[in-house]
């Protein structure tokens, strides 16, 4: 796939995530996808498989009353099936407000997401929001 095609896939994935479009997410995530979340929050873990990854995504929405958003700001892609999505993650929960910059390094294979690795500008703020 070309860099432009890879970037378009990720733009679709972000749109699907923010609108809870599970059909599109299922189309774009490989069944064996692995998601890596750093930190010390209760969500910090490696999620193995699409179902485990989607369960984590669902918890983000559930815990924030549907306010969690991954607002895509920039996409960097190459012809080697790697894409970086730079975003702002925002949400409201228990009187707390989350607004943290982060990026996700994605690995694609045959146009599907097989790996996602989150990196936060302020991991402490992310962890504190979920405490």
Domain count, the chain: 1
SS in 3 state form for the chain? CCHHHHHHHHHHHHHHHHCCCHHHHHHHEEEEEEEEECCCCCCCEEEECHHHHHHHHHHHHHHCCCCCEEEEEEEEECCCCEEEEEEEEEEEECCEEEEEEEEEEEEEECCEEEEEEEEECCHHHHHHHHC
Q: What is the pLDDT at residue 20? A: 95
102, pLDDT greater than 90: yes
pLDDT per residue over 53-100, tens digit each?
A: 999 999 999 999 999 999 999 999 999 999 999 999 999 999 999 999
Q: Give percent of the chain with pLDDT exceeding 70.
A: 100
Q: What CATH number does residue 35 fall under?
A: 3.10.450.50
At 1 the pLDDT is 87
Domain hosting 23: range is 3-130
């Amino acid at each position: 796939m070309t860099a432009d095609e890879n970037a378009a896939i990720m733009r679709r994935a972000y749109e699907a995530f923010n609108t809870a479009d599970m059909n599109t997410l299922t189309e774009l995530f490989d069944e064996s996808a692995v998601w890596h979340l750093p930190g010390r929050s209760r969500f910090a873990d490696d999620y193995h498989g699409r179902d485990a990854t989607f369960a984590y995504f669902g918890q983000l929405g559930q815990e924030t009353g549907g306010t969690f958003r991954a607002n895509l700001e920039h996409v960097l892609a190459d012809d080697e099936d790697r894409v970086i999505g730079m975003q702002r993650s925002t949400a409201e929960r228990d009187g707390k407000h989350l607004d943290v910059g982060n990026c996700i390094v994605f690995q694609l294979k045959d146009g599907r997401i097989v790996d996602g690795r989150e990196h936060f500008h302020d991991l402490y703020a992310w962890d504190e929001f979920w405490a």
